[in-house]
Chain A
Amino acid sequence: DAKTTQPNSMESNEEEPVHLPCNHSTISGTDYIHWYRQLPSQGPEYVIHGLTSNVNNRMASLAIAEDRKSSTLILHRATLRDAAVYYCIFRSYNTDKLIFGTGTRLQVFP
């Protein structure tokens, strides 16, 4: 199964943009890139997903490299409620399976 690589932790100040990187050099051409976040004591929450083009929604933006070997989740203005573990994941075209890595723990300071 394809794997992703993320930094263990990142820090940000409130109201600043946050760029969370993810490397996925083994991704196949048909696998979607998904991002989820998990707040303490809660289930993972869907953030955004994409295949090749950059994507925007009300929560975040997803920038996908042209060669698809990396992507970046962008939180435009971090809030204290954005402090969570962020997972960059493949969703397999063939099995629809989500394979979680260890994620990036984001700390947001006032």
Chain B
Amino acid sequence: EAQVTQNPRYLITVTGKKLTVTCSQNMNHEYMSWYRQDPGLGLRQIYYSMNVEVTDKGDVPEGYKVSRKEKRNFPLILESPSPNQTSLYFCASSLLNHGGSGYTFGSGTRLTVV
């Protein structure tokens, strides 16, 4: 089944403790992206990647890192999490063809930073 898999689904952590949220897709998509969703603010893009070793900032990149060493994986790294990063996170992937393909989203990771 074609899918984007995120882990973990739920995570509670303490301020300052480094964490990684993994994202993997099995569709050979070039484009991958991370979003966060907050009440009243909707879905906002954190980082995106157009291919292996090619990443760029989205609208809210502060406090996050990403890497794209393999085509299928796009982990989101929080080096020193803070409570304002408590949010619902979604990873997504797509073919790269000038907007002509749909995104596939993961099921989400609900992160709480205390």
Q: Interface SS of chain B: helix, strand, loop or mixed?
A: strand
Beyond A46-B102, A91-B99, whether A96 also contacts B107 by CB under 8 A is: no
Tell me the complex Cα distance, A87–B90, Å: 15
Size of the chain B interface, CB-CB below 8 angstroms: 27
Tell me the complex Cα distance, A18–B108, Å: 28
Tell me the complex Cα distance, A102–B43, Å: 8
* Least distance between B44 CB and chain A CB atoms (Å): 8
Could you tell me if A32 and B100 are in contact, using CB atoms closer than 8 angstroms? Answer: yes
Interface centre among B97, B103, B105 (most CB of A within 10 A): B103
* Least distance between B60 CB and chain A CB atoms (Å): 12
Tell me the complex Cα distance, A92–B105, Å: 18
Tell me the complex Cα distance, A45–B58, Å: 21
Hey, which chain B residues are within 8 Å of A90, CB to CB? 99
Nearest-CB residue, chain A, relative to B48: A97
Is A98 among interface residues, defined by CB-CB distance under 8 A?
yes
Could you tell me if B99 and A32 are in contact, using CB atoms closer than 8 angstroms? Answer: yes
Beyond A30-B98, A44-B90, A96-B96, whether A36 also contacts B42 by CB under 8 A is: no
* Least distance between A108 CB and chain B CB atoms (Å): 22
Could you tell me if B42 and A92 are in contact, using CB atoms closer than 8 angstroms? Answer: no
Hey, which chain A residues are within 8 Å of B94, CB to CB? 96
Interface 1/0s, chain A 34-54, versus B by CB < 8 A? 101000011111100101000
* Least distance between A26 CB and chain B CB atoms (Å): 15
* Least distance between B57 CB and chain A CB atoms (Å): 11
Could you tell me if B99 and A44 are in contact, using CB atoms closer than 8 angstroms? Answer: no
- Within residues 42 to 57 of chain B, which ones have a CB less than 8 A from any CB in chain A? 42-45, 48, 50
Tell me the complex Cα distance, A51–B101, Å: 11
Could you tell me if B106 and A43 are in contact, using CB atoms closer than 8 angstroms? Answer: yes
Contacts A/B (CB < 8 Å), 20 sampled: A31-B99, A32-B99, A34-B102, A34-B103, A42-B108, A43-B108, A44-B43, A44-B90, A49-B101, A49-B102, A87-B43, A93-B98, A96-B50, A96-B94, A96-B96, A96-B98, A96-B99, A100-B42, A101-B42, A102-B42
